């Protein structure tokens, strides 16, 4: 099985029905930047509690740029993000990231357009998965996030990859013509976003691998 075949079989399972167009809550907004850090070493359900706390406290606002500038000025958000764990570390890193975005880009829209993977990876506490989550889900870039779910799914098919980049290359290696047949009008960045979301939902639902082994 190759990547496009796996995507087609996941698509047939309708795993994202009722979820957002990009799967990630708040996609293409500053909320994703915060969520990408909060979700490190914890469950998404805990992250949602933290994000709700930030919204209720008026720290995370409906306006992305207002949220960015507000976060850059606060001393701490530890109390609000406690459900996500490692709250002191994550608080410091989120605030430092907001300050760096303002210093280097000025506003969130400029950050979305101008940020590079290298810039993100140079920030303390941001690794490959967090950087790619921000690039894809917050900035709409054509890059696919891979995670432990992705690695385990490939291992179930007998594919053993040595690095994050190897796994990512496997998933992104899809002929454009076949992709157009599968998703005639969907932008590539959104296809990658939903592909990652399908893998996560498939894994969280603990569906048997056999449903992907059999052709529809």
Q: Contact at 8 Å (CB) between 130 and 36?
A: yes
Closest CA relative to residue 158, chosen from 204, 116, 212, 206:
212
Q: Which two tokens stand for residue 216?
A: 């529809």
Q: Can you give the pLDDT at residue 216? A: 54
- As a three-state string, the secondary structure of 56-82 is HCCCCCCCHHHHHHHHHHCCCCCCCCH
Q: Can you give the pLDDT at residue 1? A: 87
How far is 207 from 25, CA to CA, in rounded Å? 23
Spans of the chain below 50 pLDDT: none
Q: Can you give the pLDDT at residue 97? A: 98
What is the average pLDDT score of the chain?
A: 95
How far is 159 from 27, CA to CA, in rounded Å? 30
């Amino acid at each position: 099985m190759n990547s496009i075949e796996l995507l087609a079989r996941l698509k047939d399972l309708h795993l994202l029905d009722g979820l957002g167009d990009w799967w990630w809550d708040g996609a293409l907004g500053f909320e994703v930047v915060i969520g990408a850090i909060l979700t490190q070493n914890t469950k998404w359900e805990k992250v949602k509690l933290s994000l709700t706390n930030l919204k209720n406290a008026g720290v995370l606002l409906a306006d992305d740029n207002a949220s960015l500038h507000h976060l850059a000025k606060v001393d701490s958000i530890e109390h609000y993000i406690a459900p996500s764990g490692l709250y002191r570390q994550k608080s410091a890193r989120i605030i430092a990231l907001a300050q760096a975005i303002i210093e280097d880009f000025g506003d969130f829209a400029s950050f979305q357009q101008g940020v590079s993977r290298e810039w993100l990876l140079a920030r303390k506490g941001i690794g490959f998965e967090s950087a790619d989550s921000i690039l894809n889900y917050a900035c709409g870039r054509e890059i696919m996030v891979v995670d432990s779910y992705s690695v385990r799914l490939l291992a179930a098919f007998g594919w053993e990859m040595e690095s994050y980049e190897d796994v990512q290359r496997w998933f992104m290696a899809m002929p454009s013509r076949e992709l157009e047949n599968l998703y005639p009008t969907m932008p590539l960045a959104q296809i990658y976003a939903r592909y990652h979301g399908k893998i996560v939902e498939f894994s969280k639902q603990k569906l048997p691998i056999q449903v992907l082994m059999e052709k529809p």
